[in-house]
């Protein structure tokens, strides 16, 4: 095992958590596009399989790509006990913590509006639900709950949310549709979104990032908070932490898979079974990253992901508002006739990574 420690400009951050966050963000901002391009321009069966896993099912079902979003929400929860601990050490009051949590959540919601194009001022046709909006709301409510509860209370709240959401989708009648009908647009989730959300919905009659289906996503954040508490614990050895994280993941995954038979795994609805399966995978991935990076100290390989994970908001917004691929095409213009689009797309991401690396070594971190 290597005893070389990766230089970390932000020494208070948990390195395995930044690496896992960067791994997650890589698939959002570039990994999926590169794999799809490799599939299109090669005949390699491995990439065909990866393409299938990097595409969302139309409705019920689960692929690796469905894990990316809930994993990020879980990670935001893991980070909370660490940031909370630092703020408490500085003597911040409860009201100050409330203000910080709510402010951060609402800023993410607003950034989601901007990401979706609200600055065009076409409010009637704007889409208001967003990935950032769900992260903001999930983080805000999850953190506020965590701030005032202990482990047992959080478990009760998580169970109540998931069971209550199941009951709502199965038992609350929706005008014009059969009670318990889980077809697209027929659920209470879609009905509430059509009733309350202005502008347009992503799928016209429903939105995968809508208001009602954000409720169970709060559980992903709370599960992350409990994982973060375990990682900060002084009473558990590192190997005990790894074991507890992994076993928790297997249990949650098993519950989700069993629940699937009566309440299908569905990212669009963020069903309770989907929440449990993704929480399970999140626990297991965290246990592996923590074991390899922070226990075994294999850290040099993490630099690629840590640089991304230390500035997730920068890369997410940057890839939306700055055309790195366009710059790559200009820089490689004379070679384009002989270069695969795969290389151009990869070069565009490399340019973005170089910007993040510069920010990393200069300790520039975009936070809300």
Q: What is the pLDDT of residues 324-361, one digit of tens each?
A: 777 777 776 655 554 566 777 778 888 889 999 999 99
Residue 4 domain-assigned? no
Residue 46 domain-assigned? yes
Can you give the pLDDT at residue 344?
A: 74
Residue whose entry in the numeric block shows the structure tokens 């800023």: 107
CA quadruple 178, 183, 184, 190: dihedral, nearest 10: 40
Can you give the pLDDT at residue 1?
A: 35
Residue 317 domain-assigned? yes
Q: For all residues of the chain together, what is the average pLDDT?
A: 89
For the entire predicted model, the pTM comes to 0.91
Residues 6+ apart with CB under 8 A from 204: 185
More confident residue, 31 or 231: 231
242-254 confidence digits (pLDDT tens): 999 999 999 999 9
Residue 69 domain-assigned? yes
Residue 3 domain-assigned? no
Longest alpha-carbon distance in the chain: 64
Cα–Cα distance between 242 and 255 in angstroms, integer?
A: 20
Which alpha helices (H) appear in 234-340, and where do they start and end? 238-259, 272-289, 303-309, 312-321, 324-331
Residue 44 domain-assigned? yes
CB 78 within 8 A of CB 231: yes
Q: How far from chain centre, in Å, is Cα 90?
A: 29
CA quadruple 357, 87, 144, 13: dihedral, nearest 10: 30
Q: DSSP states of 3-52 as a string?
A: -PPPP-SSTTS-HHHHHHHHHHHHIIIIIHHHHHHHHHH---HHHHHHHH
Kindly report the backbone phi and psi dihedral angles of residue 207, in degrees, each rounded to the nearest multiple of 5, phi listed first.
-140, 125
56-107 confidence digits (pLDDT tens): 898 999 999 999 999 999 999 999 999 888 888 888 889 999 999 999 999 9
Residue 2 domain-assigned? no
Residue 81 domain-assigned? yes
More confident residue, 54 or 98: 98
194-222 confidence digits (pLDDT tens): 999 999 999 989 999 999 999 999 999 99
Work out how many domains the chain is built from and give that number. 1
Can you give the pLDDT at residue 191?
A: 95
Range of the domain at 237: 15-361
Q: What is the mean pLDDT of residues 168-183?
A: 94
Can you give the pLDDT at residue 336?
A: 56
């Amino acid at each position: 095992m290597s005893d070389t420690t990766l230089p970390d400009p932000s020494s208070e951050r948990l390195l395995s958590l930044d690496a896992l966050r960067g791994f997650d963000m890589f698939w959002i901002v570039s990994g999926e596009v590169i794999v799809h391009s490799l599939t299109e321009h090669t005949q390699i069966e491995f990439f065909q399989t990866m393409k299938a896993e990097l595409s969302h099912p139309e409705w019920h079902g689960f692929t690796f790509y469905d894990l990316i979003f809930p994993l990020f929400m879980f990670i935001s929860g893991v980070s909370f006990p660490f940031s909370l601990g630092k703020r408490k050490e500085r003597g911040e009051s409860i009201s100050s913590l409330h203000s910080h949590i709510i402010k951060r959540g609402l800023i993410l919601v607003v950034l989601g509006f901007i990401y979706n194009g609200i600055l065009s001022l076409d409010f009637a046709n704007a889409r208001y639900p967003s990935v950032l909006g769900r992260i903001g709301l999930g983080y805000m409510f999850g953190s506020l709950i965590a701030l005032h509860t202990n482990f047992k209370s959080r478990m009760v709240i998580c169970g109540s949310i998931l069971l209550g959401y199941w009951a709502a989708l199965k038992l609350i009648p929706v005008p014009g549709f059969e009670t318990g009908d889980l077809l697209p647009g027929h659920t209470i989730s879609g009905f509430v979104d059509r009733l309350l959300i202005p502008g347009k919905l992503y799928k016209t009659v429903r939105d995968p990032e809508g208001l009602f289906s954000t409720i169970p996503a709060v559980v992903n954040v709370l599960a992350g908070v409990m994982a973060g508490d375990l990682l900060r614990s002084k009473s558990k050895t590192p190997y005990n932490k790894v074991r507890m994280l992994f076993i928790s993941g297997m249990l949650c995954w098993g519950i989700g898979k069993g629940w699937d038979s009566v309440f299908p795994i569905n990212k669009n609805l963020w069903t309770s079974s989907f929440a449990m399966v993704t929480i399970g995978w999140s626990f297991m991935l965290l246990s592996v990253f923590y074991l390899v990076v922070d226990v075994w100290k294999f850290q040099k390989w993490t630099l690629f992901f840590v640089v991304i994970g230390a500035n997730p908001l920068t890369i997410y917004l940057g890839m939306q508002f700055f055309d790195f691929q366009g710059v790559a095409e200009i820089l490689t213009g004379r070679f384009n006739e002989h270069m695969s689009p795969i290389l151009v797309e990869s070069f565009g991401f490399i340019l973005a990574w170089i910007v993040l690396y510069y920010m990393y070594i200069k300790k520039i971190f975009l936070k809300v």
